[in-house]
Structure 1
Amino acid sequence: MANPEIMDKVVSLCKRRGFIFQSSEIYGGLNSCWDYGPLGVELKRNVKEAWWRSVVYERDNVYGQDASILMHPEVWRASGHVEGFSDPLVDCKKCKRRFREDHLADKSKCPECGGELTESRQFNLMFKTFMGPIEDTASVVYMRPETAQGIFVNFLNVVNTMRAKLPFGIAQIGKAFRNEITPGNFTFRTREFEQMEIEFFVKPGTDDEWLEFWKNERFNWYLRYGMTKERLRLRQHDKDELAHYAKDCYDVEYEFPFGWSELEGIANRTDFDLTQHQTFSKKNLTYFEEESKSRFIPYVIEPSAGADRSTLAFLVDSYCEEEERVVLRLHPKLAPIKAAIFPLMRKDGHPEKAQEIERMLRPHFNVEYDETASIGKRYRRQDEIGTPYCVTVDNETMENDTVTVRERDSMEQVRIPMSGLLPMLLERLNAEKKPA
C-alpha cells in the first residue's frame, strides 16, 4: 500500500547518514540528479557486485564487457532511437509546467493548477552533445539512452574472442542518460542512471523457454538478497504495451511507498537488434552453428535492471521502525559496513585493543571504528545504517581476550575469543540468508 510518509523518512535518513545527497546542493541543487555519499556508494557497489556475481561468476556462459558511453551516431539510427525514442509532451499555458501527456488522467487540464494545456508534441529523450572542436551537425553524438546497443555491436567480437557458443550472454553495468520530462520519486526516475543488463543470445525456437528461465532467475535474485516476497511481483506486459521489437516481456515490480513500479524488465527482443545492425552496418552478424551447419541471427532475451532502482528498493524494504530504534535490515552482503568496533571506554587500553581488532578485520571487509557517545547510541547509529555486527571491547577483553559480538536484527549478544572473531564474522557474512 502506498505510504509517502515512509518515503520521506528514507530520503531523510539517506541525507542524514551519508547515503545519497542532492547533486550540486550548495548551488541550490540540480533537478533529479543525485550524488551517492560514503555509505550510499558502498551499498550501490554491493548491489552491483551481487548482480555481477550471480549473472557472470556463477554461470559459465555469460561474459562481461564495458562499452563506451559515446557511440557512432548510426548505432542510434539502427536501433530506432533517433526516430522513435520520444514521449508526448504538453505544457500548461498558465503555470508553464511540463507533463507527459500519457501520464495525465485529464488530457485537457493541468493537474497542478487546472490551466489549459498546449497541443501534444513529441520530445526525443536522448541527450545530444558534440565530438570535436566544431559544434555542427557533422559532429553530433548522443549520450547513450541504454547500455544494450553497446552489447549488440560487440556481438561478433565476443563470439570470436571467447569462442562463445549459443546459448550465451553478455553482461554490462553502465551509465545511461534520458532527458525525462517528468523525473521524480527520489532516485527512482532520473536523467542519469545506471543499468545492469544482460543480452542473452539463443537459437530461435528456444526463446520462450529461455524467457521463462530468466524471468524466474531474476525474480529470485531479489529474494536471495532479502527483499520481502509480498512486495515483489512479476507482471506480464499486455500486447498493446509491448515495445515494437518485443515478442513478450515481464516486469519485476516492487511495491514502493509511492506504489507498484518496475525494478527490472525481462524481454524477448527476438532478432530485431542484430538484424537492424546488420542492415545498417552492412556487416554479417549471423551465427554459424556447427551441429546443424547453418547460419542464422540469434534471438535475444534481455533482463535489464536498474542499479539505482534496485538500491532504492533494498533501502526501502530494509527500513524498519521499532520502539526504540530505526534499523536497516539489509542483507549482510549488501550492507555498506559489515562490522563496527567499539571500545567501551576511552581509557584502560580499550581504544588500543579495539583498534587492533579493526586492523585485523579491515583487510577482509569494510569496518568502522567508533569511540564517541554512549555504547547504546553507538549501537543505534549502526542499526540505522544497516551494520550487521558490532564488536565491543570491555574490561573482560583486557583480562582474557574475549569480545562481545552483537547482531543487528535480533540484538542478541555473544561472547567469543578474539581469535575466533574473524572466522565467525566471515562465516556469517558469507551466508546466503540474513541473520535470524
Structure 2
Amino acid sequence: MDEIVALAKRRGFIFQSSEIYGGIGGFFDYGPLGAVLKRNVKDAWWRENVELRDDVVAFDSSIVMHPRTWEASGHVAAFHDKLVDCRNCKHRFRADHLPSLEKCPDCGMTGTLTEPRNFNLMMKTAIGPMEDTSAQAYLRPETAQGIFVNFKNIYQSARKKPPFGIAQIGKSFRNEITPGNFTFRVREFEQAELEFFVPQDGRDLEWFNQWVTARKKWYSDYGVRPDRLRFYELTPEERPFYAKAGIDVEYLFPWGWGELESIAHRGTYDLDRHIEYSGKDLQFFDEATKQKYTPILIESSAGMDRTTLTMLIDAYERETIVDGEKTTERTVLRFHPKIAPVQAGVFPLARNKPELVERAQSIERGLRAHCRTQYDEGNVGQLYRRQDEIGTPFCLMIDYDTLGDATVTVRERDSMKQDRVGQDALEGYLRERL
C-alpha cells in the first residue's frame, strides 16, 4: 500500500489536501491523472446505469437540504459511531475498530480509554448571516434523500411509472472519527446512488436480484479481479429492520476486506418516513389501475472514491522482466482501457530532431478527438516506464521510418509487443483495441 500511495503522489493521481499546511485528515485532492481516472470511473457507472437504460432518469440534488430531511431519514437521531478517547495519549478511536476497550492501541496503556459515547457523523453548517441554532443545517451525509423528497416531482416531470430508477452522483460529507487507509475512509467523498422504485406486485425480490447481477457484471466488465471481489449477503440481524434483503460488495484491500457498494431492498421505509414528516403525498398514482401506492425501493449505493482506489490497487503490479541474461523490474498499472487516464502516449525517438518532434506532435493532435492522448519526449526506455506507471495501454513511437513510409511503432502495455501501423490506420487500430 505504501508503494501505491507513493506512486499516486509521484505520478499525479492523488495528493493530500492542503499539504503545504500539514494536510487535513480525511480530505484528498485528485491530481491531473487522478481527476481523469475518477471521472472515467464515474462516467463508466453513469453510462451503464443511466445512458444505456430507458428505465432510469438523471438527477442532481443540492448538498444542503432542509434540516427536517435528516430528522425524517433518521440521521439526526441515529447516524452515530461510538467514540472513545485515551486519557493518556489523547488519541481518539471508533469503539468498533478496537480489538479491546481495556488497552489503548497507540500508547499501550491499560485502563485509560473512556466509556464509548455517541458521536453524530453529520457535518454542521450555518445558513444566513447569523450562526445561531435557527440557521443550523447540515452538509448531506448521503445523496439519496434528495431523490426521495423529489420523488413526485421527478416521476411526474419525467413521465415515468414504476419500475423505474433515479440516479445521481454527488458529494457527501461525514465527520469520520478516524479517517484512514488513504482514500478509503474520508470525510468528503462522492457517491453514485441508484434508487429503483418497483410496484407492489410481488416481483420486488426479482428486481433486487436483477440489480445484484447487473452490478456483478459491471465490476467484471472493468476487469476487477474476481478473487479479490465478493458479494456478501447480509443476515437478517445485520440488515436494518425494514430491509428485506441486502448485499455488500467488498474488495480485498491490502489491509483486508472493505465495502465498496451496498445493494439493498429497503421496502417503502424511505418514502413513508418523508410522507410522515412532511405531511405531503409522495405516493404513486397509477392512472391505468386508478390505484395509489408507495413503491418498493431497491437501492444501489457505491462510493466513487473507494471504487477509484479499487481500480488503482487492482491494476497495480510489480513485474520482473527477463531478457536473456538481463533482468529488470517495472511497475505497471493494468487499467481497463476505458478508464485509463491516458489511452495513447505519443513521443518522438529523439527530442532534438525537429522533424520527429513535429511529426509526433501532429499525430498526437490528430488522435485527441478519438482517444485520451499524451505527448511526451525523452529517453525511450524512461518514456515507456513512465507510461507503464500511469497505466497507458498503448505507446506510439515516431522514428525515422515514420518520415519515410508513414508507419509508427505501437507498443502494447501488458504484453510489451510492438506493431508497425500506418499513420492513416492509427485511429481504427486504437479504436478496435480500446
TM-score, structure 1 normalization = 0.95
Of 121, 124, 139 in structure 2, the residue corresponding to residue 125 of structure 1 is 121
Partner of 2:199: 203
| Secondary structure of 2:237's aligned partner | helix
Partner of 2:57: 63
1:388 aligns with 2:388: no
Shift, 1:426, TM fit: 1.6
Larger CA deviation: 236-245 vs 175-184: 236-245
1:231 aligns with 2:228: yes
1:27 aligns with 2:26: no
Shift, 1:363, TM fit: 2.1
CA distance in 1, matches of 2:427, 2:234: 48
Shift, 1:396, TM fit: 0.6
Amino acid at match of 2:24: L
Shift, 1:291, TM fit: 4.0
Partner of 1:146: 142
Shift, 1:354, TM fit: 0.4
1:14 aligns with 2:20: no
Shift, 1:20, TM fit: 0.2
Change (3 A) 1:296 1:349: same
Of 346, 354, 362 in structure 2, the residue corresponding to residue 356 of structure 1 is 362
Of 371, 376, 389 in structure 2, the residue corresponding to residue 365 of structure 1 is 371
Of 296, 311, 314 in structure 2, the residue corresponding to residue 317 of structure 1 is 314
| Secondary structure of 1:239's aligned partner | coil
1:255 aligns with 2:271: no
1:274 aligns with 2:301: no
| Secondary structure of 1:173's aligned partner | strand
CA distance in 2, matches of 1:15, 1:130: 34
Q: Deviations over 1:145-191 (max 9, x none)?
A: 00010111111111111110110000000000000111110000001
Of 166, 172, 175 in structure 1, the residue corresponding to residue 168 of structure 2 is 172
Shift, 1:239, TM fit: 2.0
Of 6, 23, 31 in structure 2, the residue corresponding to residue 37 of structure 1 is 31
Shift, 1:96, TM fit: 1.0
| Secondary structure of 2:265's aligned partner | strand
Shift, 1:427, TM fit: 2.0
Shift, 1:245, TM fit: 3.7
Partner of 1:88: 82
Gaps (5+ residues) in structure 2? 321-328
Shift, 1:109, TM fit: 2.1
How many residue pairs get aligned? The number is: 422
CA distance in 2, matches of 1:193, 1:155: 24
Q: Deviations over 1:63-89 (max 9, x none)?
A: 111100000111001101111111111
CA distance in 1, matches of 2:147, 2:277: 16
Partner of 2:429: 424
Partner of 1:375: 380
Larger CA deviation: 210-219 vs 105-114: 105-114
CA distance in 1, matches of 2:302, 2:241: 20
Aligned-pair identity in percent equals 58
Amino acid at match of 1:177: F
Partner of 1:183: 179
CA distance in 1, matches of 2:216, 2:255: 21
CA distance in 2, matches of 1:212, 1:166: 17
| Secondary structure of 1:423's aligned partner | helix
Q: Deviations over 1:240-275 (max 9, x none)?
A: 221344222101111111111111000111101100
Amino acid at match of 1:387: T
CA distance in 2, matches of 1:326, 1:14: 12
| Secondary structure of 2:205's aligned partner | helix
Shift, 1:32, TM fit: 1.8
Larger CA deviation: 288-297 vs 25-34: 288-297
Of 238, 243, 250 in structure 2, the residue corresponding to residue 241 of structure 1 is 238
CA distance in 1, matches of 2:354, 2:408: 15
1:47 aligns with 2:41: yes
CA distance in 1, matches of 2:243, 2:89: 38
4+ residue stretches of structure 1 with deviation over 6 A?
A: none
CA distance in 2, matches of 1:184, 1:244: 30
Q: Deviations over 1:396-416 (max 9, x none)?
A: 100011111111101111101
Q: Deviations over 1:204-248 (max 9, x none)?
A: 322211111111111221110011011111101122221344222
CA distance in 2, matches of 1:122, 1:181: 11
Amino acid at match of 1:315: L
| Secondary structure of 1:35's aligned partner | strand
Amino acid at match of 1:243: P
1:329 aligns with 2:334: yes
| Secondary structure of 2:337's aligned partner | coil
Partner of 1:432: none
Change (3 A) 1:27 1:165: same
CA distance in 2, matches of 1:414, 1:114: 60
Partner of 2:344: 339
Larger CA deviation: 342-351 vs 64-73: 342-351
